[in-house]
Amino acid sequence: MKALRAELTKLTSLPGVWIAVAIGLVLPAGVTVLNASNSRSVPSADTGFRELAIGVVAAIVIGVVAISSEYLAEGEESGGSRQITTSLTAVPSRSRFLLAKTAAVAGTVGLLALISSAITLTATDLTSADVSIGTSDLPRVLGIAAYWIFSALLAAGITLVTRSGIIPLSVLIVNISVVSVSFLLTKVTRLAYYFPDLAGTHLFLRDSDGPVDLTPVAGGLVMGLWVAVIAGIGAAAFVRRDA
Amino acid sequence: MNLLRAELLKLATLPAIRFTVIGTWAVTVLLSAAAPDVSTALYGPLLAGFLILGLIAATSEYQGGQIRTTLVAAPRRVTTYVAKVGALVVITLPAAAVTVALGTIVSGESEAKAAGYFAFTTVIAHAVGSLTRRTLPALVGLLAYYFIVGPLLQPRVPFAKYLLDSPDWFVALPWTAVATSLGLLAFRSRDA
């Protein structure tokens, strides 16, 4: 429990995390309002949820920064030391450290996803006359939370291997953009529909436009499997490598 | 001239710069083969490589206090900053030209104007980096703007074509000038 509290303190004192929280709360709701006032966007069963899928950028940033901040060299004045040295002195068991880190990231991102969903879906309900959000959408909100948590853990797993945040941040954020790399790859092979970011959207989207239509549970399982493999590689690297 | 040579030497000996440029070229080849047309590839994910290039060129000075050595050797801030931007442009132009050339070779179509877009964006990223001095927050902001907010605004608001992610040179040039001036002013007046 103490390790978890320590991880939460570290996480909530990072400026990058607060930037991410601001993006996660403002971006999906802002896009919803912008879409509602635009005549060209057609309301569908996924209005509000597609926008929340973009907000996953916040989860990615939190996942990356939680790990990369541990490895950032402080500069010559403080002997070029890194926070990970202090962290592992305080919590020498690497698996316990990782467990606390995972719980802190998943808890923070899950809470953020729920709050952001509440704001965005309320905005959807108020601004789009043709779409109404009710209690029947609750499972999809849990789907959003699962999607955000999975994405954060995926990002953290990659960062455990690279240690620098630059590569995972660039690759993962670029991949949420309108012309994502995964989407381009679906033109080459249908297998790309099983990439974590595309398979995971079945957790909460109902109007699937691709040829591969997964149920929410199957989509979640495919994405969860990706997360388990990649985070597993990251954890194995973390446990074995010198800090 | 010595200043420009020193800045060039620093950029050329940074492994991160080399990896970024070579990585960008590799992705160019892959994407030009996969994308339906060459402008989707060039005006898409590749920009990230140039954002990182400009950003690292600026923020690497502040990791470990190299900036103090730089300013002891070259105390005149304005000329130093101009030399920095100059050296970055000298590195960026060939990198961008090769990127566009690779796209042309692989896809068979040519989109030469993208090289200018890459160069302008690199200089804007450099200005953002020298304002924030920190790599990751600046990277989050730049990527979120260029890849998420910018493309979302583009079809939805009328003024979007005048924003800084416009591929039009006549729009990008003033934005680059404004960003560089802000970076210069901050570099001149702030403590190192």
- Residues of A within 8 A of B56 (CB-CB) are 166
Sorted by sequence, the CB contacts under 8 Å of residue A68 that are 6+ apart come out as A159, A163, A164, A165, A168, B136
The predicted model gives B10-39 an average pLDDT of 87
Under DSSP, the state recorded for B144 is I
pLDDT band at B150, cuts 50/70/90? Answer: confident
- Residues of A within 8 A of B125 (CB-CB) are none
Inter-chain residue contact B137 with A19, CB threshold 8 Å: yes
* Between A188 and A53, residue with greater pLDDT: A53
The total of structural domains in chain A comes to 1
Q: How far is B82 from chain A (nearest CA, A)?
A: 26
Q: Which domain holds residue B158?
A: 2-189
pLDDT above 90: percentage of residues in chain B: 58
Interchain CB contact of A106 with B (< 8 Å): no
Sorted by sequence, the CB contacts under 8 Å of residue A129 that are 6+ apart come out as none
Inter-chain residue contact B65 with A77, CB threshold 8 Å: yes
The predicted model gives B149-174 an average pLDDT of 85
Alpha helices in A72-137 (DSSP H): 83-90, 94-127
Q: Which amino acid is at A207?
A: D
**pLDDT the model gives residue A75:** 63
**pLDDT the model gives residue B32:** 82
Interchain CB contact of B144 with A (< 8 Å): yes
Q: Which domain holds residue A50?
A: 2-240
**pLDDT the model gives residue A179:** 66
**pLDDT the model gives residue A231:** 95
Which of B45, B65, B137 lies closest to A15 in CB terms?
Answer: B137
Which of A54, A166, A187 lies closest to B148 in CB terms?
Answer: A54
What does the alpha-carbon distance between residue B56 and residue B13 come to, in Å, rounded to a whole number? 12
Q: How many helices (H) and strands (E) does chain B have?
A: 10, 0
The tens digit of pLDDT for each residue in B81-130 reads 999 999 999 999 999 999 999 988 888 888 888 899 999 999 999 999 99
The total of structural domains in chain B comes to 1
pLDDT of B24 strictly over 90: yes
pLDDT of B153 strictly over 80: yes
The tens digit of pLDDT for each residue in A25-46 reads 999 999 888 888 776 667 777 8
Question: Minimal CA–CA distance to A168: which of A16, A17, A65, A24?
Answer: A65
pLDDT of A234 strictly over 90: yes
Question: Minimal CA–CA distance to A64: which of A105, A100, A99, A30?
Answer: A105
Neighbours of B192 (CB within 10 A): 13
Interchain CB contact of A38 with B (< 8 Å): yes
Please return the burial class of A188, using the count of CB atoms within 10 Å of its CB with bins 0-12, 13-18 and 19+.
Answer: exposed
The predicted model gives B17-42 an average pLDDT of 85
Per the document, the length of chain A is 243
